[in-house]
Structure 1
Amino acid sequence: MKDINRIRGCLIGGAVGDALGYAVEFMKDSEIFRTYGSAGITEYTLVNGVAEISDDTQMTLFTANGLLLGTTRKMTRGIMAPYPHYISLCYKDWLKTQLAEDFKLEAPQYAWLNNIPEMNHSREPGRTCISYLLENRLGSTSNPQNNSKGCGGIMRVAPIGLYFEDNKYTIKDIDMIGAEAAALTHGHELGYIPAAMFVHMIHLLSHHSGVSVLDAVKDAKRIMSTLFPKAKHLHRLTGLVDRAITLSADSKIRDLDAIKELGEGWVAEETLAIAIYCSLKYEHDFEKAIIASVNHSGDSDSTGSVTGNILGAHLGIDTIPQKFLDNLELKEIILEIADDLFNDCKISEYSNTTDNVWEQKYIYHTYPNKI
């Protein structure tokens, strides 16, 4: 069952981890602790009064836009392509936000998010995402276009786990939508299988009460072996996940040392493993988990984002400290997208239901400029 508190928590939580980690993304751990003190970075670094989000949150929102675009087409026209197709259309619109100034405020073809001026900023986008979207060389799990396993595939797919309900899609179907969304730009098995595993975890945690993070991890690991039985590199992911589980139960090890054993998060399996470690270690303390997830050498905004998605889905938005809600860039837009994922399209070609705002968003793509 959809839970608006958990959907909001997942998207806001991901943005919190992203914004906290973005300030230290390219810093070595020694530099982080030298700059911010023995606890590392624990508060936002504000730029013009704003805690800036990176491409991780941007692309997460465009993933959500793509899901709702596809459903709206099905509801209003009775036909649609697979969801990754609509996600790819929105990623191409996201690409416009990362390019030269004269591209930034062009009317989008599919994504209303391009109409938000604050969205039109380049925030250290991944080279793989940019190059393959520019070249229009988008792949799939059956037809990969590269051998990339960078974390650009996993950090954007949380909305897929949030959106679909069990009575409409099997959880394996949902996982595969996550894998295909990642495989658009990341063709290595470890570019898209961790994304499927992440989506599985998000779905269980956000839709089923009483599921622990460890329950979600173990079930996701089990399902990956059935979804991808011939994957040559699955053992690398499952081994790293098992190590994360073991480390999270060791009260004597420092977070930094544990994370160093798991990697730096530049590739998807390491991003997921670090996020799993932090989410298990601090399952009931969002703040401690987020702080641990970003204070290391490596891709701190992505490890923070995925950790925030997991615990936000598990604990809900009410558990996120106010200090992380204050000054968060695009907070209202993130909440609006979360609410759209929860409420879904109510318009149908067979009913007289109307929703002018929804139409401007997901049919005409002119919101909020024209209502």
Structure 2
Amino acid sequence: MSIETGVSAPTLKSRIHGCLLGGALGDSLGYEVEFDAIDVIRRRFGPDGLTGFAAFSGGSHFSDDTQLTLYTVDGLVEALEWANSGVGADVNACLWLAYLRWLSTQGEAAGPSAPTPQARWIDGNTVLHQRRHPGKACISGLATGEMGTSVRPVNPASKGCGTVMRSAPFGLIPHITPDAVYKLSADAASLTHGHPSARQSAGIFSLLIHRLASGEGLREAAAGVTAHAANITDVAPELPERLQAALALADKGVVPPEELVRTLGEGWVAEEALAVALYAVLATLPDDSAATGPDTLPVQHFRAAVALAVNHSGDSDSTGSVAGNILGAHYGEDCLPGDWLKALEAPEVIRGMADQLVGVTTGEG
């Protein structure tokens, strides 16, 4: 039983689907207001801001955050397919090739020095070919044609949130150590972003997802990764500072968006995006007496947390995406609002990639 929900713990399959779909829902809600200041959001949607998809007039769309998350899944799936067949593979090389295929979908070339990856199932889904304001560092880092590493990074000064928003899948791989989860994620971040905070924030986010997928509670996992961040060798100090600030702000409950931004930032850089999402999830954590109306407690929590994560003057799609990933990994699919899922763009593509990850990690068809 889950102490926080009073229901049976979700299966890994449910957590994988919940994490990927939840991230896409948060991304889609936030993408509608990504470049809007909070006063503009209030003028468009009322004093409470954007609280659901019913307010959309032209249908919902997810952004490059979901696209790159799914390509992360694909790179991991390919590496695990090789491993399951008894052949060792360079995981980061598989991820680099996956990201190069995403780069091609965006109409960009990696240059003559880069390899030409073989197409895979994911590449045939045209919804992933839409250009949805991709991050500049993700594009430029891949377009160098060089495989960045932590020792020889591309974009050495970049700490944008393009690393964090794609890194949930690393935490969904079972039967590997926390140190391995962190390293896989941080190494993959180096493919596009070189600043230590970008790499470390991605690794800590993946570690948070890993702890949740292993059954830890939200508060326990949040405190655990915050402590872990403070003890990283050569840590970028802004990461533990922002995480500690997120925990402290969550203790105050829901605060106005203006205070959120003053305290944690707008989410455009890696440690801020993670901190805003973590704050939103913890500040809206309900108790058992809060369940009212037709929604279950996990669904109520998802609605409230994602709305809090996107209604601010900042990078709303990335903070919403990370919050949705966290909640989906914790609760599984049970937290996803049915009306939001009906509005989600191309759910069959997201479920298709989730099923591939389930297949190579659990053997389930």
TM-score of the superposed pair, with normalisation by structure 1: 0.85
Which segments of structure 1 move beyond 6 Å, counting only runs of 4 or more?
A: none
The structural deviation recorded for 1:137 is 2.9
Write the mapping of 1:185-264 to structure 2, written as runs, cut at 5 A. Answer: 185-208=192-215, 211-226=216-231, 228-231=232-235, 233=236, 235-251=237-253, 253-264=255-266
The structural deviation recorded for 1:27 is 0.8
The structural deviation recorded for 1:47 is 6.6
Residues 1:30 and 2:39 aligned together = yes
Aligned counterparts of 1:323 and 1:159: Cα–Cα separation in 2 = 25
Question: Partner residue of 2:357?
Answer: 341
Residues 1:121 and 2:123 aligned together = no
Question: Partner residue of 1:173?
Answer: 180
Aligned counterparts of 1:35 and 1:219: Cα–Cα separation in 2 = 39
Write the mapping of 1:34-183 to structure 2, written as runs, cut at 5 A. Answer: 34-44=43-53, 46=56, 48=58, 50-76=59-85, 78-81=87-90, 83-99=91-107, 109-145=118-154, 146-163=156-173, 165-166=174-175, 169-183=176-190
* From 271, 279, 302, the counterpart of 1:277: 279
Give secondary structure in 1 for the equivalent of 2:210: helix
Assess if the C-alpha contact under 8 Å between 1:2 and 1:207 holds in 2.
Answer: no
Aligned counterparts of 1:153 and 1:47: Cα–Cα separation in 2 = 31
What is the number of residues matched between the two proteins?
A: 334
Question: Partner residue of 2:296?
Answer: none
Aligned counterparts of 1:256 and 1:6: Cα–Cα separation in 2 = 33
| Aligned-residue identity in percent | 38
**Structure 1 gap segments, 5+ residues each:** 101-106, 348-354, 359-371
Q: Which residue type is aligned with residue 323 of structure 1?
A: D
Q: Which residue type is aligned with residue 99 of structure 1?
A: G
Q: Which residue type is aligned with residue 329 of structure 1?
A: E
Q: Say what the alpha-carbon RMSD is for the aligned residues.
A: 2.3
Assess if the C-alpha contact under 8 Å between 2:226 and 2:244 holds in 1.
Answer: no
Aligned counterparts of 2:262 and 2:122: Cα–Cα separation in 1 = 37
CA separation of 1:2 and 1:92: change in aligned 2, threshold 3 A: farther
TM-score of the superposed pair, with normalisation by structure 2: 0.86
Aligned counterparts of 1:280 and 1:186: Cα–Cα separation in 2 = 28
Aligned counterparts of 2:70 and 2:57: Cα–Cα separation in 1 = 21
Q: Which residue type is aligned with residue 89 of structure 1?
A: L
